[in-house]
Amino acid sequence: MKSYGSYLLRIGQTFYFRIMVPKHLRSYFRCAEWKKSLRTVQLEIAAERANLIHSYVTALFNRAGEEMLTEKQVWALVDEYANVLLQKNEDAINRNVAEGKIPSAQNMEKNFIATAEAIRQGLADGETIYALPFLDWLQSNKNIVPEDETERTCLFRELLKRLPEVMTIAAERAAGNYNNDFDRRPLLKKIDRQAADPMATPVTSAPPAIPATPGPASAASQLLSMVHAPSAEPSVLPTVDRQPGPDHALSLARLMEKYFREKNGSEEWSHHTLTELNAHFELFKEYFQPDTPITAFTDDDIQRYRDEVLKRLPINRRKRAALRNLTLAEQLADNTVPKINVKTIKDYLSTINTFFQWCVRKRYLTANPFEGISIKDRRPANAKRLPYSSEELRLIIDKLTALPLRGENGIKNLDRRWIILLGMYQGMRENEICQLGIDDIVKAGDVPCILVRAVDPEKNRVKTASSIRVIPIHRQLQTLGFLDFVAQRRNAEAALKRKRHGDQELQGKRNQLFQTMTYGSAKGSFTKNFLNFYIKFNRQITDNPLKTFHSFRHNFSSLLMNQSLTPYLVSCLTGHAATKTVTEKVYTVPDIRKLEEELSRLNYGIDLCGAFHVTPLTEEGIAARIAVLPNMPEGLVAHQ
């Protein structure tokens, strides 16, 4: 790790921006230092990006200092709110006693203590749902609307630190002890009765009765809703004799927002996953309404959602010009467009089911209404995607030879040619190929290999853990000149490295093997440019919608499986999770020569060099090209 001035830091080969957070703002930003990757190894580019980020961050610090509440202001607001809760509780007790409604002191005390413990646990878990009514109180009584998420979190956490104390005091009062530490000292502020009771205006509806044994979460909800939720004559703080009324904090939209924040904070989701899941959540909220209480859902609702919405949902409803301006009901009623398939329906259901499971784990729900709700894909596995026929594979090669390698699209067509051949002869997925770096072509001993991995987690991705693998390069691609193509790109990369200045986009792409492939943030992949081309290219091959680029993997797997004596090795080549014993999972590493031998069985009966009118490289020529490849990086094991 090396420092380059005040704001630049280099870790390994990559530059980072680093800045200290001002002391008076650290409680809001909850850190003492910010550090962010600049995604470059070039000092000049890093310095330019760091200057831009520094200007933005400095302005952010200045604005935060001007607009955010100070620590003393936060403490004062929390103190006042705590006193409001205690005063309202005392008023409610007085009313109940006057009316002869004497609640069970033992139950009240027990419930307060359980609630205090639940809030402490919520604070430890980063749970802020109990503090949401505080936000309404700030807005209605203080005209304060903390829009900044950091400031809002700071307010919530300070309140949660105080709420267990409030509960403890209420518990002691319920037991008749008014000689506690709090009551022996004067209140920090004697709150005006009218200001302390903003909900004093009478209303007509009373909250429903409570079940016999409420949990701590319901007790906390009742307490925290006291200063903002309508009630006919509020009784004491939550007891076993009352049920909390509807709480907007437990609405579908609020909990989905909280779920997203938690998952984003843990970095479990890639950008592509986040975009996809967001579409699933937005549809669910659009159909059921965002403010629906989470406890209102039943299994009948979920079945209706599956049968009346998902089974009738059009493909690309937000992209099709004829659909995007229609309401959801109008889109579902349109039978002229194709509907999403069973696999996509299962994805939608799985996303929402996972969210409801989270709600159960967090104790917002006692049962999951998705339990037992599913849909079966009755198509046979080999009917979901089809392989190309032998004639179609030959036609693909013929069409590839016709792509012009000179002129405006020459470089693009060269990339397209090798991407298709890699899909055909290596069994790789589209994005696995399109995101390859020059450094992903290496040697293991004298065997040239492709590394399928995610070097940059912000851009590179693999489908599953088993997708990370080492694949020998097929002999036919070696004789055709694939290693020459890699060498040309590596030489071009070296030339770019020697340039001190130049096109930043080219500098950023210099390590890409296929430099005409552009990263698309919408899908989190490098495939957009290629797939737009391949859709048109594929129409020259077949009109069967079940035959796509993914069909190459079916051809690859089927051909090898029909000849293989070791199916496990085929799974290693394709990146599929093969069924293994514990010993195989922990101790078995595929031998690179066994993989090479397995791959050599793949033979489509096509003479690639003859089709492309290329003189095949000799064994000596291939060996010379392998010799200059970098060795496989340490940490990637391949038995040689």
DSSP 75-122: HHHHHHHHHHHHHHHHHHHHHHHHTT----HHHHHHHHHHHHHHHHHH
Cα angle for residues 490, 494, 496 (degrees, 5° grid) = 115
pLDDT at 596: 93
DSSP designation for 379: S
Any bridge partners for residue 451, and if so which? Answer: 470
**What's the one-letter identity of residue 8?**
L
Residue 549 has pLDDT above 90, yes or no: yes
pLDDT at 245: 35
pLDDT at 554: 92
- In angstroms, the CA 161 to CA 134 distance is 13
Residue by residue, DSSP assigns 434-494 as: HT-BGGGEEEETTEEEEEE--SSTTT---SSGGG-EEEEPPHHHHHHTHHHHHHHHHHHHH
- Strongest mean pLDDT among 99-103, 132-136, 228-232, 317-321: 317-321
Residue 476 pLDDT class (50, 70, 90 cuts): very high
Residue by residue, DSSP assigns 170-203 as: HHHHHTT---SHHHHSPPSS---HHHH-TT-S--
Q: 537 or 263: whose pLDDT is higher?
A: 537
Residue by residue, DSSP assigns 560-628 as: HHTT-S-HHHHHHHHT------HHHHHH---BHHHHHHHHTT---S--HHHHTT-PPPPHHHHHHHHHT
pLDDT at 493: 66
pLDDT above 90 as % of the chain: 27
Handedness of CA 544, 548, 554, 555 (dihedral sign): positive
DSSP designation for 131: G
Residue 623 pLDDT class (50, 70, 90 cuts): very high
Provide the Cα torsion 479, 483, 489, 493; round to 10°. -160
**What's the one-letter identity of residue 246?**
P
- In angstroms, the CA 21 to CA 33 distance is 5
| pLDDT tens string 429-445 | 999 999 999 999 999 99
DSSP designation for 387: P
Q: Residue 221, CB half-sphere, CA atoms under 13 Å: how many?
A: 21
| pLDDT tens string 67-95 | 566 667 777 888 888 888 888 888 877 87
pLDDT at 406: 87
| pLDDT tens string 285-340 | 999 988 888 888 888 889 999 999 999 999 888 888 888 888 899 999 988 888 98
Residue 424 has pLDDT above 90, yes or no: yes
pLDDT at 356: 92
pLDDT above 70 as % of the chain: 74
Residue 616 pLDDT class (50, 70, 90 cuts): very high
Q: Please give the helix or strand (H or E) that residue 3 lies within, else none.
A: strand 2-4
Residue 231 has pLDDT above 60, yes or no: no
Residue 248 pLDDT class (50, 70, 90 cuts): very low
Residue 186 has pLDDT above 90, yes or no: no
Mean predicted lDDT score pLDDT of the chain: 77
Residue 543 has pLDDT above 80, yes or no: yes
- Spell out the CATH class of 390-627: mainly alpha
pLDDT at 492: 78
- In angstroms, the CA 38 to CA 594 distance is 41
Residue 142 has pLDDT above 60, yes or no: yes
Among residues 78, 85, 74, 80, the alpha carbon closest in space to that of 189 is found at: 80
pLDDT at 201: 33
Please tell me whether residue 631 adopts helix, strand or coil conformation: strand
How large is the angle between the packed helices 551-561 and 410-426, nearest 10 degrees? 30
Residue 413 has pLDDT above 90, yes or no: yes
Please tell me whether residue 557 adopts helix, strand or coil conformation: helix
- In angstroms, the CA 561 to CA 382 distance is 14
| Cβ contact 519:526 at 8 Å | yes
The residue-averaged pLDDT of 374-382 equals 62
pLDDT at 381: 56
pLDDT at 628: 93
**What's the one-letter identity of residue 358?**
W
| pLDDT tens string 15-69 | 888 888 887 666 666 677 888 888 888 888 888 888 888 877 877 777 665 556 6
Residue 234 has pLDDT above 60, yes or no: no
Model confidence pTM above 0.85: no
Residue 14 pLDDT class (50, 70, 90 cuts): confident
Residue 613 pLDDT class (50, 70, 90 cuts): very high
- Strongest mean pLDDT among 159-168, 207-216, 243-252, 346-355: 346-355
pLDDT at 266: 63
- In angstroms, the CA 416 to CA 39 distance is 27
pLDDT at 619: 94
Residue 508 has pLDDT above 60, yes or no: no
- In angstroms, the CA 212 to CA 217 distance is 14
Q: Exposed, middle or buried, 333 (CB in 10 Å: 0-12/13-18/19+)?
A: exposed
- Strongest mean pLDDT among 11-20, 139-148, 389-398, 448-457: 389-398
- In angstroms, the CA 137 to CA 143 distance is 9
| Cβ contact 131:254 at 8 Å | no
Domain boundaries, the chain: 2-64, 71-199+212-242, 252-378, 390-627
pLDDT at 583: 47
